[in-house]
Amino acid sequence: MGDVLIFAEHQGGHFPKATLTAVHAGLELAKKRGGKAIAVVAGDAPEATAGEIAKYGVAKVIALAHPALKNYLADAYAQALAALAKKEGAEFIVATATAMGKDLFPRLAARLGAGMASEITAINDDQSFVRPTYAGNVMATVEIDGPIKVLTVRGTAFDAAKPGGAAAPVEKQNAEIDAGALKMEFVSFNATKSDRPQLTEARIIVSGGRGLKAGENFKTVLEPLVDELGAAMGASRAAVDAGFVPNDLQVGQTGKVVAPELYIAVGISGAIQHLAGMKDSKVICAINKDEEAPIFAVADYGLVADLFKAVPEMTEEIKKLKHS
Amino acid sequence: MKILVPIKRVPDPATTIRVLPDGSGIATDNVKWVINPFCEIAIEEALRIKEKQTGEVVLVSVGQSTWQEQLRTGLAMGADRAILVKTDTALDSLAIARIIAKIAGDEKPDLIILGKQAIDDDANQVGQMLAEMLGWPQATFASKVEIAADKISVVREVDGGLETIAFKIPAVITADLRLNEPRYASLPGIMKARKKELKEIAADSLGVELAPKLKIKTLAAPPKRQGGRKIASAQEMVSLLHTEAKVI
């Protein structure tokens, strides 16, 4: 009892910060429940990648291999993980609530007949967990009944696990998959091309909203500031819906949840759905010409100004600072 | 094509949500109830598919008698009939998925389209659980659905870009924000909806396990962030971020 299986999502052989937060949460949970933390790395040939996660404090790494796990598909992955969880006798299965974690884990929970808590932000000492509901306006304390419990963790609520100590053993296992039951086909992945840091990895995020007025202005007004700061670029739902920027830049209740050291909101009014995605940032800075905009209520530093004037001024000022 | 669309009643997204002092729930006085926005997108997608081909759009909801209002709204948008699975107890996603799987077993739809998440509990679970229970393919976070002969391809909004997957019917699709822009119910639509079938079934008559595995112990308001300080200029902003906040 008490063993924790951590689904270690990887992107082309490396583990993003989001995965390391699930490892951290899994280690914390195993410690509190008196069990072992076991990382699982899945793929058609996951052994080499699995070795990478062995240094992060887990007791064991399982390289779960099967040709059907080459590209991620929910049905194959749910089959493989459910069989493994039963075989290992795990009490908890944990992943980060990335697009993949959100897609896979409810299916896995149903396959196991297990209860699931989505996007937990805290692990309590009394068997309960905390998770945000109503766009982060209500924090629910929840409990899961049953021998197996399924959890996704909110990446911004936990630190990333750090490497150190001896590498855990890596054990290769062939996944149990009934290939005849697989009905999904991977067609293609169209990656958003960007040289900037990813939203969930960045120390600084500059986000633009409807106030930018056009996609072109993201390039001419916002991007110089983003690049001067070495920041990631984000956007409000309004900006994404208007087609100014691609969908994966959306920060909010239904987009990405972020908590960087500095979040600069430009031309964003601050609807509760947007605040839900960024209000845990360490420092929030807002630029908006409407002094009544709700974003100012959560901003540590608010500037009521025309963004088309203020943003280039900030960019200039940061340039000067770097050269001083 | 026959399409089943499970929908949920939630507080209007613009409502300010307050937790009751004893943490047992949220204050519901003055709350306006609406169809979950993602469920509206699911209804719209089902209607568009039906309009291109032929078929039937059946709504299903699991909740109290008051949930009829949202089902009537969906019928007014153009759905053909509706089923309300009545229960007064709080169910978890697993139980809801079991109920809908049972209804799907009776109705035999070609597709089930749902919203990707409800904006009250933000769980994002039912569609995926339902797909597993039925042994069907799933396409969550759909931003484009293309139907050709018996094959469906779906563009999904995932981390770092857009993914395309394909499968045959029957299948489960969950709608993301940009799948479509839902229509409003027209006046003739509202008139017609009054005469459409809305069947009620008691949840405990279905013979499925309803006891929740996920239990809510208590609710609380999150710690409030203290903001509101105004700065006079861009220069001062940069200076404070450098010297005071020390983040740049």
Q: Which band of pLDDT confidence, cut at 50, 70 and 90, is reported for residue A276?
A: very high
Is A261 inside a domain boundary? yes
Write the secondary structure of A147-196 as one string of H (helix), E (strand) and C (coil): CCEEEEECHHHCCCCCCCCCCCCEEEEECCCCHHHCCCEEEEEEECCCCC
> With contacts defined as CB-CB under 8 Å, which chain B residues touch A240?
177-178
Tell me which amino acid residue B148 is: A
Q: Which band of pLDDT confidence, cut at 50, 70 and 90, is reported for residue B67?
A: very high
Cβ A225 vs Cβ A206: under 8 Å: yes
Mean pLDDT value across residues B48-77: 97
For the entire predicted model, the pTM comes to: 0.95
Per-residue pLDDT tens over the stretch A80-109: 999 999 999 999 999 999 999 999 999 999
> With contacts defined as CB-CB under 8 Å, which chain B residues touch A108?
132
Show which of residues 253-272 on chain A sit within 8 Å of chain B, judged by CB atoms: 253-254, 261-262, 272
Mean pLDDT value across residues A65-89: 97
Residue A324 has pLDDT above 90, yes or no: no
As for the ipTM of the complex, it is 0.96
Per-residue pLDDT tens over the stretch A120-157: 999 999 999 999 999 999 999 999 999 999 999 999 99
Shortest distance between the Cα of B242 and any Cα of chain A, in A, equals 9
Is A227 inside a domain boundary? yes
Of the three residues A147, A181, A215, the one that is the final residue of a domain is A181
B2-223 maps to which CATH number? 3.40.50.620
3-state secondary structure of A270: coil
Per-residue pLDDT tens over the stretch A147-162: 999 999 999 999 999 9
- Residue B61: the pLDDT is 98
Is A66 inside a domain boundary? yes
Per-residue pLDDT tens over the stretch A227-243: 999 999 999 999 999 99
Mean pLDDT value across residues B224-232: 92
Is A151 inside a domain boundary? yes
Burial status of residue A288 (CB atoms within 10 A of its CB: 0-12, 13-18, 19 or more): buried
Q: Partners of B138 in the beta sheet?
A: B172
Nearest CB neighbour to B245, from listed A128, A273, A283: A283
Give me the number of domains chain A comprises: 2
Q: Which residue out of A182, A247, A248 would a mutagenesis test of the B interface target, given it has the greatest number of B Cβ atoms within 10 Å?
A: A247
A182: nearest CA partner in chain B: B137
Residue A247 has pLDDT above 90, yes or no: no
- Residue A193: the pLDDT is 83
Is A190 inside a domain boundary? no
CA atoms within 13 A on the CB side of B155: 12
Shortest distance between the Cα of A61 and any Cα of chain B, in A, equals 25
Residue A107 contacts B, CB cutoff 8 Å: yes
A117: nearest CA partner in chain B: B214
Is A312 inside a domain boundary? yes
Please indicate, yes or no, whether residues A164 and A258 belong to a single structural domain of this protein.
Answer: no
Whole-angstrom Cα distance, residue B116 to residue B95? 17
Residue B150 has pLDDT above 80, yes or no: no
Please indicate, yes or no, whether residues A28 and A174 belong to a single structural domain of this protein.
Answer: yes
Cβ A314 vs Cβ A321: under 8 Å: no
The CATH number given to whatever domain includes residue A124 is: 3.40.50.620
3-state secondary structure of A247: helix
Please report the DSSP string for chain B in residue order: -EEEEE--EEE-TTSPP-B-TTSSSB--TTPPEEE-HHHHHHHHHHHHHHHHS--EEEEEEEE-GGGHHHHHHHHHHT-SEEEEEE-SS---HHHHHHHHHHHHHHH--SEEEEES--TTT----HHHHHHHHHT--EEEEEEEEEEETTEEEEEEEETTEEEEEEEESSEEEEE-GGG--PPPPPHHHHHHHTTS-EEEEEGGGS------SEEEEEEEPPPPP----EES-HHHHHHHHHHTS---
Tell me the average pLDDT of chain B: 96
Show which of residues 96-115 on chain B sit within 8 Å of chain A, judged by CB atoms: 97
- Residue B59: the pLDDT is 98
Please indicate, yes or no, whether residues A168 and A288 belong to a single structural domain of this protein.
Answer: no
B17: nearest CA partner in chain A: A137
Residue B20 contacts A, CB cutoff 8 Å: no
Please indicate, yes or no, whether residues A67 and A144 belong to a single structural domain of this protein.
Answer: yes
Nearest Cα neighbor of A150 from A178, A110, A190 is A110
Per-residue pLDDT tens over the stretch B77-122: 999 999 999 999 989 999 999 999 999 999 999 999 999 999 999 9
Q: Where are the domains of chain B?
A: 2-223
Residue A222 contacts B, CB cutoff 8 Å: no
The CATH number given to whatever domain includes residue A307 is: 3.40.50.1220
Please indicate, yes or no, whether residues A102 and A51 belong to a single structural domain of this protein.
Answer: yes
State how beta strands B171-175 and B111-115 pair. parallel
φ and ψ of B158, to 5 deg: -125, 175
Whole-angstrom Cα distance, residue B39 to residue B200? 20
3-state secondary structure of A222: helix
Is A58 inside a domain boundary? yes
- Residue A194: the pLDDT is 85
Structural domain that includes position A68? 4-181
State how beta strands A170-174 and A60-65 pair. parallel
Nearest CB neighbour to A247, from listed B119, B178, B217: B178
Q: Which band of pLDDT confidence, cut at 50, 70 and 90, is reported for residue A12?
A: confident
Is A189 inside a domain boundary? no
Q: Which residue out of A19, A73, A103, A273 would a mutagenesis test of the B interface target, given it has the greatest number of B Cβ atoms within 10 Å?
A: A103
Nearest Cα neighbor of A77 from A47, A100, A60 is A100
Mean pLDDT value across residues A270-281: 95
